Amino acid sequence: FDIAGDVEHVGQGVTGFQKKPLSDPSETTYSQASTIAVGFNTAAFGLYAKSPIGLGLNPDLEPGKPTLVIGGSTSVGQYAIQLLRYLGFSTIITYASSHQFTHLKSLGATDLIDRKAVSLSDLPAAVKKITSIPVEVVYDAFGSAESQQAGYDSLADGGQMVIVLPDEIKNKTDGDGKKVLMVKGNAQIEPSREFVKVAFGEKLPRLIEEGIVVPNRVEDLPNGLEGIIDGLKRLKNNEVSGVKLVSHPQETK
């Protein structure tokens, strides 16, 4: 789970924290801020951090490079789209529901493939219809065996793919040079700590303040902690799409 709030006190020897919000609260609400930590970290680790944490991409990419984000409307997928745009990818293809297209385009997606119209098995062919340039970077934020296989099959030889769950790709070709990396958005384990100090502690506030990174859209649950039960039921029934459900414990009756 993610959280957001104010720093009221710091312990002896603690540095880098002050009693102030991360960014202007008139622009970023607590609910929006609560969507950032795990989603942003998982996307940033996978794309920016050096191996073995991530792919180690940098903003010095050649113009015209295409990329693919599977599950673009997920929390991680939305941050991945924004960070890929920041990296300089000019063609950002995402696989998501059609009713999310307008929002995902505002985040940086240039081309969208409707997951209800195109099956995962047909995704590689759909990608080739959009771009003839080999796709060297794929981010699978969905996390199923089928989405991993679709991402792998969409990837150019020698390309790199980030996955968010253990590798379940069954059909791989020996000698194709494709690299598959499972990312963990956990800032508390080594060697992630040093990376997160820079990405989350130093870079992120500026990215938010300049509008380069936009938090997920949110829906505030009523009744404090009690509202979580209904929220979990809705998630189980696939009744939530493109937003993060946020509980406010202080509103518990």
pLDDT tens digits along 132-150: 999 999 999 999 999 999 9
Residue 220 has pLDDT above 70, yes or no: yes
Residue 207 has pLDDT above 50, yes or no: yes
What are the distances in angstroms from CA 153 to CA 16, 49, 128, 136, 138? 44, 24, 11, 11, 10
pLDDT of residue 25: 46
Structural domains in the chain plus CATH codes: 38-182 (3.40.50.720), 217-253 (no CATH)
Residue 62 has pLDDT above 80, yes or no: no
Nearest by Cα to 168 from 190, 187, 143, 192: 143
Q: Which residue intervals of 9-161 are DSSP H helices?
A: 30-33, 37-48, 75-87, 101-107, 123-130, 145-154
Residues whose CB falls within 8 Å of the CB of residue 198, separated by 6 or more in sequence, listed in order: none
* pLDDT, the chain, mean: 89
| Secondary structure element (H or E) that encloses residue 140, with its range | strand 137-140
136 beta partners: none
Structure tokens at 91: 């063609």
Q: Evaluate whether 85 touches 107 at the Cβ level (below 8 Å).
A: yes
What pTM does this model have?
Answer: 0.88
Half-sphere CA count of 210, side-chain side, radius 13 A: 8
- Give the pLDDT mean for 91-112: 97
pLDDT of residue 27: 75
More confident residue, 114 or 173: 114
Percent of the chain with pLDDT over 90: 64
Q: How far apart are CA 237 and CA 116, in angstroms?
A: 17
